Amino acid sequence: MAQDDLRQLVDEALVALNQAQDPAALEEARTRTFGKKGRLTLLAKTLGQMDAALRVSFGSALNEAKASLMDAFDTRAQILSQAALAQRLQTETQDITLSVRPQQEGTIHPITQTLDEIIAIFSAMDFTVARGPDIETDWNNFTALNLPPTHPARQMHDTFYMPAQGEMPMVLRTHTSPVQIRTMLGQNPPIRIIAPGRTFRCDYDMTHTPMFHQFEGLVIDESTHMGHLKGCFEDFLRAFFGIEDLPLRFRPSHFPFTEPSAEVDIGCSRKDGALVLGNYGDWLEIGGCGMVHPRVLENCGIDPEKYQGFAFGTGIERLAMLKYGIPDLRTFFEGDVRWLKHYGFSSLDIPNLAMGLV
């Protein structure tokens, strides 16, 4: 009798689970079989009233039926969830041709773009980026860089002076070179940094704005020499302008914080008033550089008998104007949206060396 009940129960449960078309219906059928008041549970309770021999044989039949039914329920559950997924994949469509971005996209300012390009190149050369504040101590901006108190750059018409902090005169930094000082005071050699940022001088015409951008390079270790400086500057400028044979000329010059010092020119042509970069016999100044002056190393607690290195500095606007054909420096900071639309860059075009810089 009980065996018949069991067989019938199994048959009916199999029918019910095969008829279930969704997970909820299947769960219901499962409860009707295995739940507290489920048919299988109730049938198992009758075991207690059976005599010993029957109980053993029916008990094992019951266990077998239970195990195979559970398997069948699990298999069916899997089939149903796969079917549900297939259904979703079929019905949920996405139009990938639809733009997810608003039509009015902003642009990256040419200064930011140029800076990102500079950082990409120097990162590949193992430089890290160092930063310093716009408002500097007179000591970091001048004195530590070996600018004697009488140096013309200190005069009021070049430098924006700020209220002193205690005894220390403060300035809007006139170049990024104070970041050399901050870096050398803050870490031991070897040092290999570039320091980009805003700089300030009292000047305003076609080629000067009171706020502009520079970046500084500084390498200090036990063996770096002028040849490394030339190679480094050359690699950078050629990569930046994408001109493999761009010629460089190092002209002897003077900066108080480097010895020897040089100004760097790149090859160009000015035929018919059009400036074109390349090996054309004419020259254009692009930056200053030199071997770090021993007194500057000393001012930062670095032993000049043991360590040496080079520094260089360049204007970022100048680089951007040359590369992207922007004629007037002042337009960089006028905030004219039409200018930004024209000279700006897509926010998705992040400069990297893998595909070239533009």
| Residues at the site binding ligand PHE, with contacts judged by CB under 6 A | 175, 177, 216, 255, 258, 288-290, 311-313
Q: Considering the complex, what minimum distance in angstroms separates the CB of residue 179 from ligand PHE?
A: 10
User: Of the two residues 310 and 332, which places its CB atom closer to ligand PHE in the complex?
Assistant: 310
Run of H or E residues at 310: strand 308-315
Give the integer Cα–Cα distance in Å for 301 and 86. Answer: 70
With H, G, I as helix, E, B as strand and everything else as coil, classify residue 269. Answer: strand
Q: How far is the CB of 164 from ligand PHE (least distance, A)?
A: 23
- Measured from the Cβ of residue 150, the count of other Cβ atoms closer than 10 Å reads 7
Cα(226)–Cα(210) distance, integer angstroms: 32
* Nearest to ligand PHE of 26, 296 (CB atom): 296
**Shorter beta-carbon distance to ligand PHE: residue 33 or 183:** 183
The distance of closest approach from Cβ of residue 326 to ligand PHE in the complex, given in angstroms and rounded to an integer, is 21
Contact (Cβ atoms closer than 8 angstroms) between residue 257 and residue 146: yes
Polymer length in residues for the chain: 358
| Best CA proximity match to 310, nearest among 193, 212, 161 | 193
**Distinct helix (H) and strand (E) counts, the chain:** 11, 11
Task: List, in sequence order, every residue forming a beta bridge with 196; answer none if it has no partner.
Answer: 215
Are 118 and 213 a contacting pair, CB within 8 Å? no
Min separation Cβ 122 and ligand PHE, Å? 15
Provide the 10 A C-beta neighbour count for residue 339: 16
Residue (288 or 351) nearer to ligand PHE, CB: 288
- Sign of CA pseudo-dihedral 335, 179, 345, 278: positive
For residue 253, the cross-strand partners are: 261
Distance in Å, CB of 311 to ligand PHE, minimum: 4
**Residue whose CB is less far from ligand PHE, 189 or 313:** 313
Q: Give min distance, CB of 263 to ligand PHE, in A.
A: 8
Q: Where are the alpha helices (DSSP H) in the chain?
A: 2-19, 23-34, 39-45, 52-91, 110-124, 138-141, 178-186, 226-241, 294-299, 316-324, 337-343
- Comparing CB distances to ligand PHE, the nearer of 289 and 340 is 289
**CB 252, min distance to ligand PHE, A:** 13
* Residue 198: strand pairing partners: 213
Ranked by CB distance to ligand PHE, the top (closest) residue is: 313
Query: Rounded to an integer, what distance in angstroms lies between the CA atom of residue 179 and that of residue 181?
Result: 5
**Cα–Cα separations (whole angstroms), residue 337 to 106, 330, 333:** 9, 14, 11
User: Which residue number, 33 or 114, has a Cβ lying nearer to ligand PHE?
Assistant: 114
73 or 307, CB closer to ligand PHE? 307
CB of 176 to ligand PHE, least distance (A): 7
CA–CA gap between residue 156 and residue 94 (Å, rounded): 64
Closer of 144 and 289 to ligand PHE (Cβ): 289
The nearest distance, CB 154 to ligand PHE, in angstroms, is 13
